[in-house]
Amino acid sequence: MICAHCSKSFAIDKIENQRGKGLASEIQCPFCQVWLGKSVVLSWVKIISFYAGVILLVWSYFDSSIREICVPVAIVSIMLMLVTHLMDQLKVTEAPEEEVVDNSEHLQKYR
């Protein structure tokens, strides 16, 4: 996995902290201590569009009278699933507070 905050990669077995359950679960990056999660809405759209596409394709295979309707709707559903899969990335849900460093003296030397 790659952290969306510090861009460092880490293995799944290095994750120590997790909060939430189901699709709303979040993990904590072991390097920068930021909480990362995925969009619940995109996950639901991905799941529903996958099962809708599979059900419509199977239904149209066995019932030829609705094949003209089910196949295009199933194709659009599978395309929607692929697009939401590409969009559903880890995002920062809670970043740790950064320390404010007063470096005005250092910057004054170079002005």
Alpha-carbon span 95 to 67, nearest angstrom: 50
Residues facing residue 104 across a β-bridge: none
User: Which pLDDT score is estimated for 55?
Assistant: 97
pLDDT in tens, the chain (111 residues): 888 888 889 898 888 999 989 999 999 998 888 999 999 999 999 999 999 999 999 999 999 999 999 999 999 999 999 999 999 888 888 887 777 777 777 777 776
Measure the CA–CA gap between 14 and 17, rounded to whole angstroms.
Answer: 9
Is 0.85 topped by the overall pTM?
no
8 Å CB contact between 49 and 80: yes
**What's the pLDDT at 92?**
86
Residue 102 pLDDT:
75
103 burial type by CB count under 10 A (0-12 exposed, 13-18 middle, 19+ buried): exposed
pLDDT of 90: 84
Instruction: Give pLDDT, residue 12.
Output: 87
- Residue 39 three-state SS: coil
Cα–Cα distances in angstroms (integers) from residue 7 to residues 10, 30, 34, 86, in the given order: 10, 12, 12, 18
Instruction: Provide the pairing of β-strand 18-19 with 26-28.
Output: antiparallel
